[in-house]
Chain A
Amino acid sequence: MNARTVVPPAAVIVGAVVAWHVVVIASGLPPFILPSPVGVVRSGVETWNVLGPAIVTTLSETLLGLAISVTLGVAFAGAMDLVPLVRRALYPLLVASQTVQILAIAPLLVIWFGFGLTPNIIVVVLFTFFPMTVATVDGLTSTDPDYIRLLRSMGASRARIWRTVRLPAALPSFFSGLRLSVTYSVVAATVGEWVGGSGGLGLYMLRSKNALETDQVFVAMVITTLLSIGLFLCVFLCERLALPWYYTAQRREQWDEQGIY
């Protein structure tokens, strides 16, 4: 990351915030329709005693849900890769799981599991399990068969080939899935909280909306976005550290020459 990648988006954000502020002042809209950025920051600070614990709740649900999704996703992908029957049996169900009406199921989860973290964690899993599994399965099946032939010709066992070729080859795809999942996850947690009315930023947002405290709705939106971006950056950093070969300077230079960057 350098000035070339940071400055342009930062400039756009600053410009947008300034434009927002100017519009609010020039139009004279009442704060419950469109609060100014300054008003949003102020109400964030004023409600911090509620907001702080809400952030902790939402972040806990998000991280736990993600952890479960990653574990399950990798386990399912591995099973589907190793046993074709499992793949045939589970793949359609997986797609079906993604089409489940989460807005309908979230209140039911509250009925089944009570007003705790559990129903919201499940909502996060429902949102993120699918991209995690599909990306990992795709990664595992993307291995160039010529590598497998080469290793077999060296006398490598199946387990050895898995460890030496298939798993590393699947990692870029796994991380793509993780990046997708992470961006969904915070929103998923707040959706669960909103629908179930069970706490966290979702509940904060719901109450603020009902009280016409529009500035607080904006506070929650901004914080949700920041959390998502933060998590995304964490994954991005992990990926850079785990896959140095995937991001060699050379590759980047080639892309520059091609005008891709």
Chain B
Amino acid sequence: MTATTTRDPEATPRLAVDRVSMTFHGEAGAVEALADVSFDVHREEIVTVIGPSGSGKSTLFNVITGLIEPQAGAIRIDGRELADRTGAVAYMPQRDLLLPWRTVLDNVVLPLEIQGAGGTRARARGRAKAPARERAREQARERARELMPRFGLEGFENHYPAVLSGGMRQRAAFLRTVMSGRETLLLDEPFGALDALTRRRLQDWLLELQRELERTILFITHDVEEAVYLGDRVVVLSPRPGRVQTTMPVDLPRPRHQQMIGDPAFGRHVATLLEELGVR
């Protein structure tokens, strides 16, 4: 076995999903989306989540981001259970959701704008410290400008998202996610809508960035190869109600590269996952 991470198993996980259950009561009756889901994501780890449609992947993300509260169980971020955890992790939806009336630069600093304006601390500071807020704003924009080339967006800072290609829009959305400054990133099928080549390029680019930025990533995908290629571990969810069917460690060396897809080891991982998902 190749050790891909040298972490202390006793360390507090960045993100702990602890016995989370969620049932929706709609007109069509009760729908059990998640049943007793538990897993941890450790510091600087990439955990991919895969499961058939209807396995509650999106519900899981809505619970983690704090958009909905689960009926049972808890979400702990760095060991703490927060009363309001919205904004505590950075969420990147499948659609880029760049605001069309904001330039690329204004889009990517949005999370910091919201943290600055909406945070309780900023409110306590009040209007007297407005210049400080202005300075923080300028610093955020400066930091975003510095990161633009790394995200392949150099020269497009002041363009509207409408002129960007699909891959560029996705990179801009990812930069927005990174700009939040949060340690844990939730990526919800970010490459799902892209063509196969762009997608592979962005996978490699994401892995490279991950090494530089040292963030922790939880990545939803419906693509088995993507789950293996990106992940340190793959969490497999069962069909409705979603449960953790199995957690598979990925014993492939890092850094990963696309040629590995031809390796027998890679194929074995994919085969195991397909079997778990009931595809033979």
Residues of chain A at the chain B interface (Cβ within 8 Å): 144, 146-147, 149-157, 160, 164-165, 168, 171, 243-246, 248, 250-251
Q: Offer 21 A-B interface pairs, CB within 8 angstroms, sorted by A.
A: A146-B95, A146-B97, A151-B114, A152-B86, A153-B86, A153-B91, A154-B86, A154-B111, A154-B115, A155-B115, A155-B119, A156-B114, A160-B117, A160-B118, A165-B99, A168-B99, A243-B101, A244-B160, A245-B100, A245-B101, A248-B160
Please state if B118 and A150 are interface contacts (CB–CB under 8 Å).
no
- Rounded to whole angstroms, the CA-CA distance of A248 and B97 in the bound complex is 18
Which residues of chain B have C-beta atoms less than 8 A from A168's C-beta? 99, 101
Total CB contacts across the A-B interface at under 8 A? 67
Given known A154-B110, A157-B118, contact A149–B87 (CB-CB < 8 A): no
- Name A160's contact: one of B91, B101, B114, B160 (CB within 8 Å): B114
B65: chain A residues at CB < 8 Å are: 153
Which residues of the partner chain A approach B115 to less than 8 Å between Cβ atoms?
A: 154-155
Q: Are A153 and B87 in contact (CB under 8 A)?
A: yes
Inter-chain CA distance A144–B162, complex, in Å, is: 16
A152 to chain B: which residues have CB within 8 Å? 67, 86
A155–B110 Cα distance when bound, in Å, is 11
Is the pair B100, A150 in contact by a Cβ cutoff of 8 Å?
no
**Top 10 nearest A-B pairs by Cβ distance?**
A155-B87, A153-B65, A153-B91, A245-B101, A155-B86, A250-B163, A245-B160, A156-B114, A168-B101, A154-B114
Contact of A164 with B160 at beta-carbon distance under 8 Å, contacts A154-B86, A155-B87 already known: no
Which interface residue of A144, A153, A157, A165 has the most chain B CB atoms within 10 A? A153
Query: Is B167 part of the contact surface with A, judged by Cβ < 8 Å?
Result: no
Query: Is B21's beta carbon under 8 Å from chain A?
Result: no
B216 at the interface (CB under 8 A from A): no
Majority secondary structure, A binding face: helix
The B interface is mostly helix, strand or loop, or mixed, namely: loop
Task: List the A residue with the shortest CB-CB distance to B112.
Answer: A154
Whether A153 pairs with B99 at a CB distance below 8 angstroms is no
Is B184 an interface residue when CB atoms closer than 8 A count as contact? no
Residue of B nearest to A254 (CB): B162
- B114 near A150 with CB under 8 A, answer no
Cβ B118 vs Cβ A156 within 8 A: yes
- Distance from A142 Cβ to chain B, minimum over Cβ atoms (Å): 13
Q: How far, in Å, is A25 (CB) from chain B's closest CB? A: 53
Nearest chain B CB to A149's CB is how many angstroms away? 6
Residues of B at under 8 Å CB distance from A? 62, 65-67, 84, 86-88, 91, 93, 95, 97, 99-102, 110-111, 114-115, 117-119, 160, 162-163, 180
CA distance A119 to B153 in the complex (A): 57
Chain B residues near A165 (CB, 8 Å)? 99
Contacting residues, chain A, for B87 (C-beta < 8 A): 153-156
Output the least CB separation between A54 and chain B (Å): 41
Tell me the smallest distance from the CB of B83 to a CB of chain A, in Å.
Answer: 12
Given A150-B91, A151-B114, A160-B114, 9 new contacts (CB under 8 A): A146-B97, A149-B93, A152-B86, A153-B65, A154-B86, A154-B87, A155-B88, A248-B162, A250-B162
Rounded to whole angstroms, the CA-CA distance of A67 and B93 in the bound complex is: 41
Contact partners of B110 in chain A: CB under 8 A? 154, 164
Closest Cβ of chain B: how far from A175's Cβ, in Å? 13
With A160-B114, A160-B117, A245-B162 in contact, do A150 and B101 touch (Cβ < 8 Å)? no
* Cα(A244)–Cα(B115), bound, Å: 27
Contact A147 B99 (CB under 8 A): yes
Chain B residue, CB-CB nearest to A165: B99
Which A residue's beta carbon lies closest to that of B103? A245
Closest residue of chain A to B100 (Cβ to Cβ) is A245
- Chain B residues near A244 (CB-CB < 8 A): 160
Chain B residues in 8 Å Cβ range of A155 = 84, 86-88, 114-115, 118-119
Docked complex Cα distance between A144 and B96 (Å): 13
A248-B86 contact in complex given A146-B95, A156-B118, A168-B101, C-beta closer than 8 Å: no
In the assembled complex, the CB of B96 is this many whole angstroms from the nearest CB of chain A, namely 10
Q: Which residue on chain A has the smallest CB distance to residue B92?
A: A150
Contact call B101/A153, Cβ cutoff below 8 A: no
Measured between beta carbons, the chain B residues less than 8 angstroms from A147 are 97, 99
Question: What's the Cα separation between A28 and B87 when bound, in Å?
Answer: 79
Residues of A within 8 A of B91 (CB): 150, 153-154
